[in-house]
Structures are given as structure tokens and as C-alpha cells.
Amino acid sequence: MNRKPLTTLGTAILVALAAPLFTSGCSGSAAADTEITTIRYQGAPNTVSLIELAGELGYLGDLDLDWVSNTTSGPQSIQSVATDETDIGGAFSGAVVNLIEAGALVTAVINYYGEDEKTFTGYYVLEDSPIHTARDLIGKKIGVNTLGAHHEAVIRTYLQASGLSPNEIARVELVVVPPNDTELAVRRGQLDVGTLGGVLQDNALAVGGVRALFTDIGVVGGAFDAGQYVLRNDFIDANPATSKKLVTGIAQAIEWQRKTPVDEVIATFTKIIDERGRNENTSTLKYWKSVGIARTGGEITNQDFTRWAGWLKESGAVTTRLTPSDYYTNELNGLLDAGQE
């Protein structure tokens, strides 16, 4: 795969640049019995990742999981992969493009989250807020979990599609707020709009007093896959069998969630969280509705990247033609090999 020269991210990414390119066909030179079998990853509090679910369900075979820490954001998660602090991490498609365009030698290997009519992100205001249109957002503050990722891309796309000029869009302030604090910040008037998804959104709606100004599936126009897990190219080359086992196990976990009754999924999540002993709260798991991933087995498509081409070019992440094949492979996804697309 062709990569662009390093342009941003600084010294940390130089570590990743020392790694060899991911070779075509995923054929590493290491023998299977010398491959890494312990996978370092980051988690998130009060939730269960697809990596953890795959391990619990036995889909990872003899692979062991090593929880390093909880991630603070998608961009941070994939930067940790690029700098060899972890082996796998996930982020919004645009953040993956940003990292690779900056010179990091990583490859997207499977979609790990998406949005559908049951599972989506909303941008919420108070019920009695005077904000009703995109133009009302000029001079206002919107809380997001991080910059340069999913929420910023959706917001900028919404504002642009609503006819705001670049100067007007620049006057809409994005404020980084921890997701768990967003609802309260909106209710206290510290934010004009708060970004809420998953159980945090459902909990806010259950309390009441808020309404969605817009949603990401509304902006995009329906269900879509939004982010990918990445692996370092040198990791793939050195551990081809492990890489395929890991990605295929995650794909199986996606389909398990899709086909399993909701109450059983929630019970499994609860068991995993209770047993890992990280002093977490499982009360919001009751709001889980769907896996959210549109494509069977987390298959990645060109459109997962091209739908954000406008925002990526506007932000300067991509300065020439967007080439999705530079960013991903489905070759490690054994579920697709089995003809279960």
C-alpha cells in the first residue's frame, strides 16, 4: 500500500514509521508458532468492546487479551497502535485517514462501530432552547468527545449542507467534553448543544427535557459504518495467522450480537464487566439496542471513507484525490472468506 510522507503527529509517529509496510496478501515470514498470541488493547469504562466480547465467546481461540488502559478517544486509540503501545485500536473513519495520511503505517482491518435507526448519535439541546436550525448555532458551543473525529465531521457536514458559509461555520465553537459529563453540561447551560450516543443518549431521553437538533444518520441519510479497528503493518507482517484470527473473531462477535436476543447480549456484557473487576457501573447496559454495524461481518467498503471526502479535504487531511484502497483491507476477515458476506 502506498503511504503519504509524515506531515503532522510529530515525534510519536516516527516510531511507527520504522515499521515495514504491510505486504500484499498478508503473508508474513514468521512461522505460526513464533507469532504473538497476547493482544494489547485499550477498553472503555462501563462498556464491552468487540475485542472483549470475542474473547468471552471463545472466538479468539488461543489468543489472550491484555487490557492496557481505557482510551480517551478514537484518535488516541489508533495513535497508541501506531506508536506500538497497543496492538489494536479503533476510531472514526476520518481519524483513520488522518493518521495514515500523516505517515503512520497502520491499516484498517474491520468496521467496529456504525449507526442505524436503533443505535445513532444525536446532537441535543434543551427542550425550550431557542436553537432550531443550523443557523441558530452561529456563536454557540457544541460539546464533542474529541476534535478531528466522528462528531466534528458530522457537525461540519451538517452546517455546510445547511448553507452556512466557511466564516459562519468557524463561529460555531466545538468544545471537548468527556462523554459522561456532556448531558449535565447541557442541562446546566455550560453547553448549547451536547453530543450524545448509546446509553448516554438513552439515559438523557429517559430523564427528559432535551430534544435532538439533528442526528448523524439524518445527516448521512441512513445507516452507515463509521469506524474501523486498525493494526500496525509490521504487526500484520510478523503475525499473519494471529492477525487473521483476531479480525475473524471480531467479525464473529459482530454477527453474534446481530443474531442474539437483546436480553442475552446485555446479560453477557454484564457478566464481562462484573468479572473484570474495574469498579464499573452496569446500570446503563439496559439501554443497549443493536450492534449498529451495517455490513455483515464488519466488511469495509470504499464508501466508509469517501462519504467524508468533503470534510477531509476542507480540514486539510487530504490534499489530493482520496484513495480508499490506501487505508484498508478485508483480507484478514475470515468470515468474508467463508462466503458469509
Do 109 and 229 belong to one domain? yes
Contact status, residue 209 vs residue 177, Cβ threshold 8 Å: no
- Measured at the alpha carbon of residue 197, what is the angle toward residues 196 and 198, in degrees to the nearest 5? 140
In a domain, 82, yes or no: yes
In a domain, 137, yes or no: yes
Do 90 and 150 belong to one domain? no
Interatomic CA distance for residues 144 and 82, integer angstroms: 24
pLDDT at 26 over 60: no
Contact status, residue 39 vs residue 66, Cβ threshold 8 Å: yes
Confidence of residue 339 (pLDDT cuts 50, 70, 90): low
Q: How many CA atoms lie within 13 A of 27 on its CB side?
A: 2
Contact status, residue 99 vs residue 156, Cβ threshold 8 Å: no
Contact status, residue 62 vs residue 70, Cβ threshold 8 Å: no
Mean pLDDT of 178-207: 93
Do 234 and 161 belong to one domain? no
Q: What is the pLDDT of residues 98-110, one digit of tens each?
A: 999 999 999 999 9
Interatomic CA distance for residues 121 and 224, integer angstroms: 12
Contact status, residue 183 vs residue 199, Cβ threshold 8 Å: no
Do 84 and 105 belong to one domain? yes
Do 233 and 333 belong to one domain? yes
pLDDT at 4 over 70: no
Domain finish residue from 217, 236, 255: 217
Q: How far from 226 is each of 24, 134, 143, 302, CA to CA, in Å? A: 25, 23, 19, 12
| Number of structural domains in the chain | 2
In a domain, 2, yes or no: no
Do 177 and 311 belong to one domain? no
Nearby residues of 68 by Cβ (< 8 Å), 6 or more positions away: 40, 41, 42, 80, 85, 86
In a domain, 205, yes or no: yes
Do 152 and 181 belong to one domain? yes
pTM higher than 0.85: no
Do 169 and 303 belong to one domain? no
- pLDDT value, residue 267: 97
Do 239 and 201 belong to one domain? no
Domain finish residue from 217, 252, 286: 217
Can you spell out the DSSP letters for 65-132? EEEEEE-S-HHHHHHHHHTTS-SEEEEEHHHHHHHHHTT--EEEEEEEEEE-SSS-EEEEEETT-S--
Worst-scoring range by mean pLDDT, 5-14, 204-213, 296-305? Answer: 5-14
In a domain, 1, yes or no: no
Mean pLDDT of 123-137: 98
Neighbour count for residue 262 (Cβ, 10 Å): 13
Do 103 and 139 belong to one domain? no
CATH code for the domain of 75: 3.40.190.10
Do 136 and 172 belong to one domain? yes
**3-class secondary-structure state, position 254:** helix
- pLDDT value, residue 338: 65
pLDDT at 231 over 90: yes
Worst-scoring range by mean pLDDT, 123-127, 153-157, 199-203, 258-262? Answer: 199-203
- pLDDT value, residue 203: 87
Domain finish residue from 202, 217, 232: 217
Q: What is the pLDDT of residues 238-268, one digit of tens each?
A: 999 999 999 999 999 999 999 999 999 999 9
Contact status, residue 135 vs residue 167, Cβ threshold 8 Å: no
In a domain, 6, yes or no: no
CA atoms 324, 293, 194, 75: torsion sign: negative
Do 15 and 75 belong to one domain? yes
Determine the angle formed by the axes of helices 150-161 and 93-101, rounding to 10 degrees: 110
**Residue 159 lies in domain:** 121-217
Q: What is the pLDDT of residues 203-222, one digit of tens each?
A: 899 999 999 999 999 999 98
In a domain, 67, yes or no: yes
Cell of 101: 495520511
In a domain, 156, yes or no: yes
Nearest in space to 323 (alpha carbons), one of 21, 79, 2: 2
